[in-house]
Amino acid sequence: MRVTAALIADTFREAFARKIFWGLFGLSTALILFFLFLMKIDIVEGAAATVSLFGRESPRQWELNRLVRQVQSGIATFLYTWGMFLAVFASSGLIPSVLEAGRIELLLSKPVRRVHILLGRYIGNVLVVGLNISYLVFGVWSILGWKTGLWPKAFLLTIVFTLFIFSVLLAVVVLVGVLFESPALATMITVALMIISPVLAQKNTMERLLSSEWSRDIWRGLYWTLPKVYDVGRMTLDYVFDRTVENYSPLWSSAAFAAVVLAAAVIIFSRRDF
Amino acid sequence: MPSSEFAIETQGLTKVFRSRLRRREVRAVDGISLAVERGLSFGFLGPNGAGKTTFVKMLLSASRPTAGSALLFGLPAQSPRARRSIGYLPENHRFPTYFTGAGMLDFYAELAGVDRTTRKRRIPELLERVGLAAWGDVRTGKYSKGMLQRLGLAQALMNNPELLLLDEPSDGVDPMGRIHIREILRELEASGVTIFINSHLLSEVEALCREVAIVHRGRVVLRGAVKDLTAGKGYRLVATGVPEALMEEFRRQSVGIEMNGGRPALLFPGREAANRGIDALRAAGCEIESLAPTSCTLEEVFVRTLSSQS
């Protein structure tokens, strides 16, 4: 545990040194400031008073509530797509860097199991991104709450879902990093998974359109095997809008994907020669 | 750490690198069986590509052997427990540049299982010992190569190792730095630490190590004590007033002759020839100024050994 903690701290140190942490933090801060600017918070007139949001006047509480949730869903969507891309891009170098010749031998010469080295990096990376996501979401949530007096907690679940999908995608980054030590390739493959996800999610439509059973099987197979970035994103929005979520399979199937990919990365890393 | 007579013990240790399609294979280490006693300073020599670094990597479990076994203090090398008493300085190390010297020592010592109190005490001590006391708070990106090498040595010493594995320890270090490193290693050897040096710098190894092994194409081709390997079998005699006729006689007997400030130095191949030569010189009324057994350098032994293998 102590060793893993030291490796997590090292990942933070590297994220700070490579300006990854500050880059994400700066971007989040810029977004929060931009949001503050949009909100034009100059006078808080009380929760019951007419509130102006993005130039729209909303005298009724339920409309205000709807507007707040729309704004929150916009932020969640932005964070889930562009934010995720930036997080993957920023993290892709943190695994190959530790595998550099002259650095990995030194780590391996210590009485540390290889699995700890990899998991220390993985967890450290998740925490670096998790802190930034939390900062952004809490920032936006607080500003909106302050302005409108509405504090829907469902928006905070964006942190959990976004971080969950980031952890799933990071498992791919780790596997590609261990196999090829290429940050560029790790980013390309992970982003490809993000792009293909909404296409694969059209499973029902495609099952009607595809003529042969084997092609439908391939589609279903890909859908169930690969991480469901799109479906989990939809689920996040359902929570934000207070809609009922009935199907949790995108969560567990994506978690299973991450577990298998991460286990493969650990096995390959444990057997690899340096 | 279990008691074992040997710090390092390998049996038929082999590493074969295969190409992706498994059509070509390179036998980097070919069945090396080697036992290094505790407390010994041992030099592991060989030309580039002889398999020295691969051998060390297998000892550290950074590379998995194709065949054979390696024990460190009687424990299988792949067990993390076996690495608890090891200090390692890799060749061409790349310490992350975001660390300060002290931060780097702290991080690697924590991984080595050194507790916080010991780390706090050892870091300034070791920085002082390797001559970097003023550099502890400076980022390693600002260090010269020689300074990084000394910092690397301090890193290897943080956990008070019983076995020190050093890959080209004085690479890039200036002559004064080398002497300094040599002094540190001598002190460590005196305190009972086993030192295993993998190096091209034969003079360094000769000055430091009591035993060496020469590796060629993945095999140990010569092993022995440095003083035995460098001891010559012949004698070098300096005399004055040697008549030309006697010199001619020596030449006929294939005695080597070197002129040293006008005085001949006669190189006899063995004790018998030296005795015969002394008799002849005395009979001719010559004066013998000095007589000493000849010796050779480790470099000469190295070159001779590899030439005989080619």
DSSP assignments along A188-256, one per residue:
HHHHHHHHHHHHHT-HHHHHHH--SHHHHHHHHHHHHHS--HHHHHHHHHHHHTT------HHHHHHHH
**Residue A206 pLDDT class (50, 70, 90 cuts):** confident
- Tell whether the model's pLDDT for residue A43 goes beyond 70: no
Alpha-carbon distance of A141 to B252, in angstroms, equals 103
- Tell whether the model's pLDDT for residue A44 goes beyond 50: no
Contact A13 B99 (CB under 8 A): yes
Contact B94 A103 (CB under 8 A): yes
In Å, how far is B86's CA from the nearest CA of chain A?
8
- Tell whether the model's pLDDT for residue A209 goes beyond 90: no
Task: Using DSSP, state whether B14 is helix, strand or coil.
Answer: strand
Q: Higher confidence at residue A61 or residue B15?
A: B15
Alpha-carbon distance of A119 to A99, in angstroms, equals 14
Alpha-carbon distance of B176 to A97, in angstroms, equals 34
Pair of tokens at residue B150? 């000394």
Beta carbons of A87 and A166 less than 8 angstroms apart:
yes
Alpha-carbon distance of B109 to A255, in angstroms, equals 35
Contact B61 A108 (CB under 8 A): yes
ipTM rounded to 2 decimals:
0.82
Beta carbons of B61 and B10 less than 8 angstroms apart:
no
Which among B64, B96, B98 is the nearest to A103, CB-wise?
B96
Q: What's the average model confidence in pLDDT over A203-226? A: 88
Which of A8, A94, A110 would best serve as a mutation to test chain B binding (most B beta carbons within 10 A)?
A110
Q: Higher confidence at residue B59 or residue A1?
A: B59
- Tell whether the model's pLDDT for residue A244 goes beyond 90: no
- The owner of tokens 């540390």 is A112
Q: What is the pLDDT of residue B304?
A: 85
B:73-92 residues touching chain A, CB 8 A cutoff: 80-84, 86, 88, 90-92
Q: What is the pLDDT of residue B175?
A: 87
Q: Higher confidence at residue A136 or residue A53?
A: A136
Task: Please check whether residue B108 touches A, CB under 8 A.
Answer: yes
* Least confident stretch, A80-89, A229-238, A239-248, B75-84: A239-248
Beta carbons of B127 and B133 less than 8 angstroms apart:
yes
Contact A103 B62 (CB under 8 A): no
In Å, how far is A22's CA from the nearest CA of chain B?
15
Q: What's the average model confidence in pLDDT over A184-207? A: 92
Contact A102 B93 (CB under 8 A): yes
Q: What's the average model confidence in pLDDT over A181-195? A: 94
The residue of chain B nearest to residue A1, with distances taken between CA atoms, is B111
Closest CA to A93 of A26, A9, A191, A181: A181
Q: What is the pLDDT of residue B1?
A: 53
Q: What is the pTM of this model?
A: 0.83
What is chain A's length?
A: 274
- Tell whether the model's pLDDT for residue A40 goes beyond 80: no
Q: Please list, in sequence order, all residues whose beta carbon lies within 8 angstroms of the beta carbon of residue B171, skipping any fewer than 6 positions away.
A: B91, B145, B149, B201
Task: Please check whether residue B98 touches A, CB under 8 A.
Answer: yes
Contact B81 A111 (CB under 8 A): yes
Q: Give the DSSP H or E segment for B234.
A: strand B231-240
What is chain B's length?
A: 310
Cα atoms in the Cβ-side hemisphere of radius 13 Å centred on B117:
0
Contact A17 B111 (CB under 8 A): no
Q: What is the pLDDT of residue B218?
A: 95
The rounded average pLDDT for each run of 10 residues, N- to C-terminus, in chain B (310 residues) is 82 90 85 95 93 94 95 93 93 90 96 95 96 94 92 95 92 86 93 93 89 94 92 85 89 81 83 91 91 86 83
Alpha-carbon distance of B59 to B82, in angstroms, equals 10
Q: What is the pLDDT of residue B252?
A: 83
Distance of CA B278 to the CA centre of its chain: 39
